[in-house]
Structure 1
Amino acid sequence: MYKSVLVVLSVFLLACQSTETKKETPQYVLGYNEPVRGVWLTNVASDAMFSPENVAEAVEKCYNLGINTIFVVTWNKAHTMYRSSIMEEWTGFEIDPELDPENTGRDPLQEVIDEARKYGIKVIAWFEFGFSSSYLEDGGILIERNPHWASLDVNGNLTTKNNFEWMNALDTEVQDFMLSLILEVVNNYDVDGIQGDDRLPAMPSEGGYNPAIIEAYKEAHFGQAPPEYHKDYNWVQWRAEILNDFMKRIYEEVKAADPDCIVSMSPSIFPWAKEEYLQDWPTWVNFGYVDMIVPQVYRRDIDAYTRTLEAQLRYVLPEKMYQFYPGLLIRVGDEQPSEEFLTQMLEANRRLGFEGEVHFFYEGLHKYEDILKSFYKK
């Protein structure tokens, strides 16, 4: 009994000491000496990336509002927002033609980097579309030219979810393609990091019924075929582990190219992310496959937001919590949270120990300039 009391007392004292140490020496994400306060910069529902002048204006606004990180889209709808020799080879398009319609050699990613450097803002290349091949295009150019890349559902059809069509994220050739784009950016651009989201690494749990995947599953399960129910626990787990391995590979190959490059992911909330998109992101964090995790805590009232955020924290080891930043939804279509609701979300973050967050997306910032300046004042 006496020994037990001593053990409990020792643990308590260590915990107190640990808490004091953390307060004295806060730990930040790789490359940071302050909290992450970021925004996603898109090429959809925004003209910010469509001219050098617009890029400069957007970056300056971010600086004036206290934003220190721009997550800039680099991969969307089978096009890159940078000059890509890989995509030129695969599709004939070196860059999204809408961003450089006259083919002048314009490079929006480089423009964002150049402008951000003037203000000390970090730039993270965001591979928004991930393993999604297209949106309402029956697979688009990637599946048209590589039919074997398609993810198949239980009926043998192209995997489609919420109007997004999908490549087979479990296929090594598809994984190699995706990783080649990531490394192309890491090797050719002075980015501070790369980021995937709810589509990288990811695939709808409805997918993966490709012949080669079925055979691999059978080999691992004594000849038993995958269940027809796509959310069967073991079937979900088996496919999620393949994506876990790919996440580890992304991390290792990015670090081999540039040890200082931040590897960030912004998945959906857990466990929904795993059940619906095979994203077992707590494993990525707790096993050291990421430097930053930004779960999309997208909710429409403060009670739901706080409850969801608190639930996410249960999946992260205490020593990894410094890598965690909430993703906030500040605009979707024409819908935006009220100023009161945004303030409540920021206050909830601070109350839970988060001094930063990442906002989706840039065009939503205009409504909240005074609020953000107040919270992010230097």
Structure 2
Amino acid sequence: MVLTLPQPSKIWGQTSFAEIRGVWITKNDSDIWLDTPKLESSIQELAQLNFNTIYPVVWNSGYVSYDSAVAKRVGIPIIKAGNNKDMIAEITYQGHLNRLLVVPWFEFGFMAPPSSELALKHPRWLTNRRDGSKIGNSAAGQVVWLNPFHPQVQQFITDLVLEICTRYRVDGIQFDDHMALPRDFGYDPYTVNLYKQETKKNPPANPQDREWVKWRADKITDFMVRLNTLLKQRNPNFIFSVAPNPYSTAYNLFLQDWKRWVNLGIVDELIIQVYRPDLNSFVRELNVPEVQNARKKIPTGVAILTGLRNNPSPITLIEDKVRQARRYRLGVSFFYYETLWIEKPTETPDLRKAVVRALFYNPQPRFPVSKI
């Protein structure tokens, strides 16, 4: 079935899209992965609060969130939910039942824990720094990086993404700041030889060398273009969503040229991770040219941190950030569901829900009209 998406309207001579109102569903501190009734009531409540998009994690910590033939083929064991149900199928069904877009989140991208079966069974798939070291630090702890330039890695990622999007009737797939590579990496034998073949010289000793940065960033872009083409062949209306860091960080530190991806037309939705502790530093990232140019072409929003484990963000700060995002005509997505309603000494879950209800007082449907 070919899906028909709601058409954007014209406001003041510019394209206006339905405001993104999303939330990431992680496995951190989460019991909705284990409790089907709670999953149902949680998604129903999100719909009642006029959210329109959910991003459930399907790939993190070197494992997938479903029974994957691709994962088994490369030696990754399947870790099922405690209730032994296919929770991606459950989330997709409940999301669509409540007219929410369901866009699975490919959280770890090219990352994997050093102790994961993926890393241990496929050491040649890993890249390294110039000194040969492979382990880096991330928000998820210590990780290794799959080599995004290696054809076997590219095939594995492609197969995994196509499997997700073929097996489930989801509305798209989302890649974040880990569909990238820290600039210190890329000195593995495969990449060094490839660079030599194409440029007739050795990679620079300085990982910040502009030509070396661009060569690696362009290679990642080439892969993302091919991946987008394959997904669009399956379904032209499939949402290719990207949730990167602000551009300067994304490109200069992680070789992720998402501004070029937008200009190439392979990004259907952009959500920039603006995880800033104060309002002023948050606002500075909203009116930059690459963000404002993107919002004229595609649905664009910013990610707002609702809290981390046992440390929720104040609801007043969340409210202010949403209002500022709207001032710059941007949608929002909250990271992450389990901290949205978490209780603070001065804030009950009901109070936090009341603030969100007031912010999202009017519906902003994004659900494909052919499914309604």
Could you tell me the TM-score, scaled by structure 1's length?
Answer: 0.86
Which residue is equivalent to 1:129? 108
Which residue is equivalent to 2:16? 27
Q: Does 1:255 align with 2:232?
A: yes
Which residue is equivalent to 1:181? 160
Matches within 5 A, 1:302-317: 302-311=279-288, 313-314=289-290, 317=293
Identity of aligned residues (%): 28
How many residues of Structure 1 are paired with residues of Structure 2 in the alignment?
A: 342
Displacement of 1:26 in angstroms is 4.5
- Partners of 1:235 and 1:174 in 2: CA distance: 21
> CA 1:315/1:360 → structure 2, altered by over 3 Å: closer, same or farther?
closer
Displacement of 1:168 in angstroms is 0.9
Given residue 95 of structure 2, which amino acid in structure 1 is its aligned partner?
A
- Partners of 1:265 and 1:125 in 2: CA distance: 11
- Partners of 2:190 and 2:152 in 1: CA distance: 12
Contact conserved, 1:38 with 1:67, CA < 8 A, in 2? yes
Which residue is equivalent to 1:365? 340
- Partners of 1:299 and 1:350 in 2: CA distance: 17
- Partners of 2:193 and 2:187 in 1: CA distance: 10
Q: What secondary structure sits across from 1:309 in the alignment?
A: coil
Q: Does 1:208 align with 2:170?
A: no
Which residue is equivalent to 2:56? 72
Picking from 355, 361, 365, the partner of 1:377 is 361
Note the aligned Cα RMSD (angstroms): 1.9
Name which one, 1 or 2, has greater alpha-carbon Rg: 1
Higher RCO (CA-CA < 8 Å; seq separation 6+)? 2
Which residue is equivalent to 2:97? 118
Which residue is equivalent to 2:365? none
Which residue is equivalent to 2:320? 344
Q: What secondary structure sits across from 2:272 in the alignment?
A: coil
- Partners of 1:289 and 1:63 in 2: CA distance: 29
Which residue is equivalent to 2:136? 160
- Partners of 1:213 and 1:151 in 2: CA distance: 8
Contact conserved, 1:194 with 1:262, CA < 8 A, in 2? yes
Q: What secondary structure sits across from 2:247 in the alignment?
A: coil
Deviation per residue, 1:320-368 (Å, 9 max, x gap): 44432111111122223222211211111111122x2111000122142
Which residue is equivalent to 2:367? none
Displacement of 1:118 in angstroms is 1.7
Contact conserved, 2:125 with 2:150, CA < 8 A, in 1? yes
Q: More helix by proportion, 1 or 2? A: 1
Displacement of 1:319 in angstroms is 7.1
Could you tell me the TM-score, scaled by structure 2's length?
Answer: 0.87
Given residue 269 of structure 1, which amino acid in structure 2 is its aligned partner?
P
Q: Does 1:221 align with 2:199?
A: yes
| Consecutive unaligned residues in structure 1, runs of 5 or more | 1-19, 29-33
- Partners of 2:103 and 2:154 in 1: CA distance: 21
| Consecutive unaligned residues in structure 2, runs of 5 or more | 1-8, 342-348, 363-372
- Partners of 2:67 and 2:93 in 1: CA distance: 15
Q: Does 1:89 align with 2:73?
A: yes
Which residue is equivalent to 1:4? none
- Partners of 1:257 and 1:124 in 2: CA distance: 16
